[in-house]
Structure formats: C-alpha cells, structure tokens
Amino acid sequence: MAGHNKWSKIKRQKGVNDAKRGAIFTRIGNQIAIAARSGADPDMNPSLALAIEKARAVNMPNANIDRAIARAADKNAATLEEITYEGYGPGGVGIIIETATDNRNRTFPEVKTALVKNGGRIADAGSVMFQFSRKGVIIANASGEDALLEILDAGAEDAVEEDGMITVYTDQKDLMKVRKALLESNIEVKEAELQYVPNSEIEITDEESQAKLEKLLDALDDVDDVVNVHTNANIVE
C-alpha cells in the first residue's frame, strides 16, 4: 500500500508542534460543523465522531466543539461547503487539497496562488484523483508481528510498521469498525481519519526538489481554508 511516506510523518509532527492553535481549531471546527449536518449525535454519526476525536487530539476545548456542532443548526451561520482541488507540484507529483470554506471565491485563488508561487499548478478535476484511493487510515501505537496479525484480523486491508508505530489501512466504510476493534483489543489509536492514499508513489531523491516540494506543501497548509493535503510524493532520505 502506497502512501506511507516521509511527508505524512512530517505532517503529523507539524500538527504536534504547530503554534497556530487558533487556526487549527478553526479548521477542525469547520469539519465538525459540516459533519454535524448529518446528525449532532456522534454515536450515530461516524463522521462527526472522527472530527471530534481529531479535535480532542489537539486539545480543542469542549466549548469550541459544542459551538461547532451547534453551528450546523444555526440558520444565521455562514454556509460551509467541502471543496476538493487537484494540482501538480515540482517533479510532476500529484496533490489533492481538501478545503472547508464559506466562500469558494476566496478559497480557490488562495489555493491556486500557493501552488503557482511554489512551482506547482492547479489541475483539472479528475486528472489527479484517479491516482489515489479513498481509504481509512489509522495510526496505532503498537509494534510487532502479533500486533500486525491482530490488526489484520480486525478487518484492516493492510498494515505497515515503522518507527514503533503501525499505519493501518481500511476500506473507507470499515474505518470506524476497525478502530473500535483495535480499542477493544487495547491497541492505542493515535489518529483515525479518511485520507486519499496514493496508488503508487513518485520518489523525490534530490535535496533541492525535496525543499521545493516541502515549501509548496507548507504554503498549502498555511491557507486558512485548507483542511488536508495529500500527495503521491515519497521523500527519500
């Protein structure tokens, strides 16, 4: 399974160290508000449950979570929509950019500018997406063959161990079921979310290209409305 690459680890580390707490809370709050449209009870709404879990992972206050859920029912609140853009970066790597926005006329130019100013370009809808599959991705704090076998028995499609952690891949409809099975087996779940996982990767080996790509991905990550960025680049050290 492709997608277990250095950029994903950089992103996770960035999430821990990022000082822009307010921006992070806003992004996750938007995700919660969108998910809550399908129901305000996380026990009955898996998408909302995952968004709340992500919020708690970054220590988002319960009051913020509650306000985000209430926003879904507030007719006076700005209408949020999820928009996914596609692009190419240096070296021809494919990039998928997920956003949550109340103004697509603001978001698209900001995403396009971040790409163009850093050696990338916007792509036509569908021209990059086919290179990825929508999967459930779980980061489990576990290691060893026994843990890998237990994870696969729980219904995972694949599992890869690296640096004392296991990245678990599931069919998108099985994400919550597998997550629940891992927790019941006392396997600690650090993250669980839907991602666009590349079907194959493009290796980026020289330092100059790596630096350009990371600068581009950082620029996209700094756009306020961007929720997630996925790429088929594999930065090889």
CATH number of the domain at 103, please: 3.30.70.980
Q: What are the DSSP calls for 152-166, one per residue?
A: HHTT-SEEEEETTEE
State the Cα–Cα distance between residues 68 and 43, nearest whole angstrom.
17
Residue 117: φ, ψ to 5°: -70, -10
The number of distinct structural domains making up the chain is 3
Q: Are residues 155 and 213 in the same domain?
A: no
pLDDT (tens digit per residue) in 100-145: 999 999 999 999 999 999 999 999 999 999 999 999 999 999 999 9
Question: What is the reported pTM?
Answer: 0.84
Q: Residue 110 CB: number of other CB atoms within 10 A?
A: 18
pLDDT class of 154 with cuts at 50, 70, 90: very high
Which CATH number belongs to the domain containing residue 16 in this structure? 1.10.10.200
CB 72 within 8 A of CB 42: no
Q: Are residues 138 and 230 in the same domain?
A: no
Instruction: Say if residue 1's pLDDT is above 70.
Output: no
Convert 63-83 to b/e letters by CB count within 10 Å (16 or more is b): eebeebbebbeeeeeeebeee
